[in-house]
């Protein structure tokens, strides 16, 4: 799970494998596979770094290297 923060300060932990795409317009919106949208404070680069760190933690890169 990765932690993201909504603009009201609420922290959420979500499964990054459920993120379908990110939009930056100008706020970052995560569109989940379920269709749910979350507007978060983090920049796209931060989210990508969190996803990479999570995948390393669970060994998700073993088949990708």
14-39 tens-digit pLDDT: 999 999 999 999 999 999 999 999 99
- Say what the pLDDT of residue 59 is: 86
48 falls within a domain: no
The answer to whether 14 and 1 have CB atoms below 8 angstroms apart is yes
Q: Which domain holds residue 22?
A: 1-30
Q: Is the pLDDT of residue 54 over 90?
A: yes
15, part of any domain: yes
Per the structure, the count of domains in the chain is: 1
Decide if 46 is inside a domain.
Answer: no
SS3 44: helix
Kindly state whether residue 1 falls inside one of the protein's structural domains: yes
63 domain residue, yes or no: no
Query: Rounded to two decimals, what is the model's pTM?
Result: 0.84
Asked, for residue 49, whether it belongs to a domain, the answer is no
Residue 62 located in a structural domain: no
Residue 17 falls inside a structural domain: yes
């Amino acid at each position: 799970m990765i932690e993201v923060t909504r603009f009201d300060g609420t922290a959420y932990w979500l499964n990054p494998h459920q993120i379908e795409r990110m939009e930056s317009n100008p706020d970052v919106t995560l569109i989940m596979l379920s269709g749910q949208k979350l507007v978060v404070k983090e920049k796209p680069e931060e989210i990508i770094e969190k996803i990479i760190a999570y995948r390393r933690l669970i060994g998700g890169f073993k088949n990708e290297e």
